[in-house]
Structure 1
Amino acid sequence: MPDNSFGGSGCCFAGNSNSYVQKRRGRVYIESLKVGDEVLVIFGDGQLGYSEVWCMAHEDGDKETQFVELRTATREIHISPRHFIAVMKDDLELDMVMANKIKIGDYLVSCDVDVDADSEGTITKEPVVSIETIQGKGIYNPFTKEGTLLVNGILASCYAEVKPSLAHNALAPFRAMYSVTPKVVMDAIMTPNESGIPHVLDAAFNVLEPVVAEMRLVQLGRSSDDYPCFPGYGNSIVTLESGRTYIEDVKVGDLAKVVLDNGSFGYSEVWTLAHHNPATETNFIQIETENRRLNISPRHFLVVNRNNKTLDLMAKDVQVGDELIVYDELLYKDVAGSEKVVDIEVIEGKGVFAPFTKQGRLIVNGVLVSCYAEVNPSLAHTALAPLRAMYDVTPTAVMDTVMTHNANGVPHVFEKTFNVVKTVVTE
């Protein structure tokens, strides 16, 4: 599983003479940096100065991995996808953004200081003109006391994955320890593990993981109205017997492609639209594999392979490295395949749609998902059995009345059913 902690391989710059920093006596390649060196940074007040390197959080010259190559008109930087880099906004405020979220035209913060140690340098902004994913060798991650550094003249954070301010505050005890601990003792404390990460930092990051998870929940919000849904406006595609269509165009009575209980593919009838509101704007989890992207409600269930076990997990609990069950006629013919999750983000989306099939599952953007959220899928599916039976024997006009939607686009009868189920689950 990829290491995406803010001290792991997800947090680094390329070596092999691709990244340089500015010391007091001139430029050096990042692989030549040592603990105790002072490198040029931009301090929080916007002033240039030098900050001491107190730790090499990653130092592996043989490691090959993917980097994002960001180019401006005058410079370039090779940086891990989930590493934070400074972006200047329209109001001239600085924002730290993951490298894989940078867009063409975003302004990076740079300094034109040259090799001359006496050069004062000028801080400026440069638009990104090119973005590519490249393969690179060597991963290095110096931690400065300031928490930032200039790499190839471009301002970047020392951290990845976790909001830089949180990461920097979490490491304050280690920076304080560095300042008062003899070097021989500090070297022993900072002995790297087989991944090139100091053991003590690795342990600290593991302790912080629950904090990071909690931050994500806060960012997502804990809405009691988190019904199962997918965004519309061309973001979610469902495979019907009649062909592929956008989820907002799915209708009751359509036959949707699903993975049947015996593992084969088949079609299941859409018997209701449990959520159908094109105007709603809300947060979604964006889950990416090597070949596809799925936007899904945080507490919506999908089918995941983890440690050789097939699980129904809420989207908010999916991790990088988990495998999703996928359907792709070109890649896997007419059998189910699996693809590893490589990236997870929180995004905003518009439109909320949730077709319910009789089988209880659905394939959205080629990914096998449940039709349900919040409540365990098997329990939710069982609770709705009477309504599915009613659908089979009730005239359409009567069923339409039964399934009248409330102001949130959810059938009144569903809202009452799930409230009862939640009460049972709580008890």
Structure 2
Amino acid sequence: MCQCYSRVLRKWFCCDCLTGPCFPGTATAVVYPGKGVAMHSLQPGDRVLAVDPTGGNLIWTRVLAFLDRRPEELAEYLHLETDLHTSLAVSANHVLLTPGDDANNNGSTSASSCQGFGYQSRFAADIRPGERLFVASGNSVLTAEVRTIKRTIEKGAFVPLTAEGNLIVDGTLASCYATFHHDWSHMALRPLISVVQQWPASQHTVQAFTGHYVSFLKWAGNVLLPEGRLKFGDKRNTGVLKTISPETSPLDLVDSYAKKCFFSILTSV
């Protein structure tokens, strides 16, 4: 168990020691044929609105599993509000797929259509007012300017996984991944996506296997790619100080990850 302190909100709250929260339970996905559903009610198998990474078109895709699902977690979230009246609730370490440099540096103050789909992988903590995000509007993907950024502490930590590696959350395009670059994460998750799409197992088994697979990848990524992740305390952080309780040592955390991976292999055979 860890304790987090928000220097901005001046509050302590319980938090996970190794992973970020991503989306709160009240964040909404768009479920076919167009109904807004809160993350805490979203289920594997639901068809949600996402973006085709090859062409930039809106598509319906299935939620394969949850990379993380902690309904009782309290965490600090950013609210990125745009000039198209969208307000995305997302954690600082979550990855957003944003327009390229030209779109963010052209000085435009109004929404514009997405021509093609060139994107950048950026942490939410790096986004500043005046920069642009991809948003869903009707049957189109537009770009909208971020006007304000607020911080709140909210309940729930959810990360749905789709085959495309993205989905529309609170009207805004977001990656399914956090902590590492989107393309790296999607490449690492491709084997899992293929298995989940083809595996005729119960949803409980699929979800358990997914959790262990992701835990191992995060542990391996922290060891092998130390510069690829969002580090707590660096200039991109939102001001959250994380401390590990005295009874929990870093070796205990690594050991728990190793055990999860081991039991995942045993239970999936």
Instruction: Answer whether TM exceeds 0.5 for this pair.
Output: yes
Q: Distance in 2 between matches of 1:134 and 1:35?
A: 27
Cα distance, 1:211 vs structure 2: 2.5
Post-superposition Cα deviations, 1:334-368, rounded to whole Å, max 9, x if no partner, equal xxxxxxxxxxxxxxxxxxxxxxxxxxxxxxxxxxx
- Pairs within 5 Å for 1:230-249: none
> What corresponds to 1:161 in structure 2?
179
Residues 275-314 of structure 1 aligned to structure 2 (within 5 Å)? 286=235
- Cα separation, 1, equivalents of 2:128 and 2:171: 19
Does 1:14 pair with 2:24? Answer: yes
What are the residue-to-residue correspondences of 1:23-38 with 2, within 5 Å? Answer: 23-27=31-35, 28-38=37-47
Structure 1 match to 2:213: 200
- Residue in structure 1 matched with residue 79 of structure 2 by the alignment: 69
Indicate whether 1:191 and 2:174 are aligned: no
Q: Is 1:89–1:107's contact at 8 Å kept on the other side of the alignment? A: no
Q: Which amino acid is the alignment partner of residue 99 of structure 2? A: M
Aligned identity (percent) is: 25
Contact 1:70/1:77, CA 8 A, preserved across alignment: yes
* Pairing 1:143–2:161 present: yes
Q: Does 1:107 align with 2:124?
A: no
Residue in 2 aligned with 1:98? 123
Separation in structure 1 between the aligned mates of residue 120 and residue 16 of structure 2, nearest angstrom: 24
Is residue 134 of structure 1 aligned with residue 164 of structure 2? no
Deviation, 1:161, is 0.8
**Match among 46, 61, 77 for residue 51 of structure 1:** 61
Q: Distance in 2 between matches of 1:77 and 1:215?
A: 24
Q: How far apart, CA to CA, are the structure 2 residues paired with 1:290 and 1:139?
A: 19
- Structure 1 distance, partners of 2:226, 2:50, is 30
Are the aligned partners of 2:129 and 2:148 in contact in 1 as well (CA < 8 Å)? Answer: yes
Distance in 1 (alpha carbons) for counterparts of 2:212 and 2:237: 30
* 1:107 alignment partner AA: R
Q: CA deviation at 1:3?
A: 4.8
In structure 2, the residue matched to 1:210 is 223
Q: Which residue does the alignment assign to 1:322?
A: none
Query: Structure 1 101/215 Cα, relative in aligned 2: closer, same or farther at 3 Å?
Result: closer
Q: Does 1:175 align with 2:193?
A: yes
Residue 82 (str. 1) matches residue 93 (str. 2): yes
Greater Rg over alpha carbons, structure: 1
**How far did residue 191 of structure 1 move?**
2.2
Residue 41 (str. 1) matches residue 58 (str. 2): no
Q: Give the ranges of 4+ consecutive aligned residues of structure 1 lying more than 4 Å apart after TM superposition.
A: 1-5, 285-292, 305-308
Structure 2 SS opposite 1:191: helix
- Tell me the alpha carbon deviations over residues 222-278 of structure 1, each in whole angstroms, 9 at most, x when there is no partner: xxxxxxxxxxxxxxxxxxxxxxxxxxxxxxxxxxxxxxxxxxxxxxxxxxxxxxxxx
The equivalent residue for 1:409 is none
The one-character-per-residue Cα deviations of 1:8-53 (angstroms, maximum 9, x if unpaired) are: 3x142111xx311112222222222111222111111211112221
CA change 1:168–1:123 in 2 (3 A) is: same
Aligned to 1:401: none
Name the CA distance, whole Å, in 2 between partners of 1:291 and 1:47.
36
Structure 2 letter corresponding to 1:133: R
Q: Deviations over 1:29-85 (max 9, x none)?
A: 222211122211111121111222111112222211100111113110110111011
Distance of 2:49 and 2:244 partners within structure 1: 43
Query: What SS does the aligned partner of 2:102 have?
Result: coil
